[in-house]
Amino acid sequence: MKGLIDSHFHLLHLKTKNVDITDVLEQLMIEGFSGGIDIGTALDDLGERTILLQPYPSIELATGLGPWAVEQDNDISTIVDEWISYVEDQHFDFIGEIGLDNYWNYGTKERQKELFVAQMKYATRCKKPIIIHSRDADTEMIQTLNEVDLPYGGIMHCYSSGWELLETAIEKGLYISFAGPITFKNAKELHKMVSYVPLHLLLLETDSPYLAPHPHRGKINTPLNMRYIYEQAALLREMEVEDLIKVIQQNFESLCKGH
């Protein structure tokens, strides 16, 4: 299936699971992969990923500190300053993934929000879209999004939150990206949400190596599984897969043009 976009995957996480990521990338190109975003999760992982992806210009790079970074002992301003000093002279396309997470209770909610807001402000200064991680934090995320301006937009990644946050994100003009769980039979609310999101704000992702779609649920996920997510989204939207591919390509191009 040609022309697919995977808006969120973690190549270095695949590497830690003993996946040959060069082989995955080569296979993607053979299959006509149109592009996507390799996501950062650590302060100092951008350099390695930049070298890895030099032969693949269709893949964008994101760098950011997720809520797990607040478990460092340093104060938030020190953590952010260290990250900025590392990335500011390197090429990147997005800030992310960044956000809030109450499922794992990383640090305190206050420190999570401080880290999130600081990186959103930096994204505005360097004119980059953001990629948002939100897990069991709907109330705090709604409040935070309503307190900031996002002139360069962004993505709510792997959407699995509630309707109120979905409405807030749509009102803010954020893209909504859905992952493998939309292929699960019991994900009834997610199915409704895929149908509900305005088509011009819809994106799809694998979140590899996590959340493998049916029929590979429970296995290590890779961007090579995008076809199952497209097929399910097209079914839920009552569209031909080929038409959905074109829409997602247009959406991704529009997002990337923002920077």
Q: 74 or 247, which is more confident?
A: 247
The Cα 72–Cα 107 span in angstroms is 9
Beta bridge partners of 37: 60
Average pLDDT, the chain: 96
Tell me the C-alpha distance between 104 and 188, whole Å.
Answer: 24
pLDDT digits (tens, 9 = 90+) for 92-114: 999 999 999 999 989 899 999 99
Task: Identify the band that residue 13 occupies on the pLDDT scale cut at 50, 70 and 90.
Answer: very high
Please write the tens of the pLDDT for every residue from 42-75: 889 999 999 999 999 999 999 999 999 998 888 9
Distances in Å between the Cα of 248 and the Cα atoms of 94, 176, 226 are: 18, 11, 12
The pLDDT value recorded for residue 145 is 97
CA distance 175 to 155: 5
To the question of domain 5-257 being in CATH 3.20.20.140, the answer is yes
d(C-alpha 157, C-alpha 7), whole Å = 8
User: What pLDDT is recorded for position 160?
Assistant: 96
Q: What is the pLDDT of residue 87?
A: 95
pLDDT of residue 259: 52
Closest CA relative to residue 67, chosen from 132, 164, 151:
132
Give mean pLDDT, residues 195-200.
98
% of the chain surpassing 90 pLDDT: 95
Peptide bond into 215 cis (omega under 30): yes
Q: How confident is the model at residue 252 (pLDDT cuts 50, 70, 90)?
A: very high
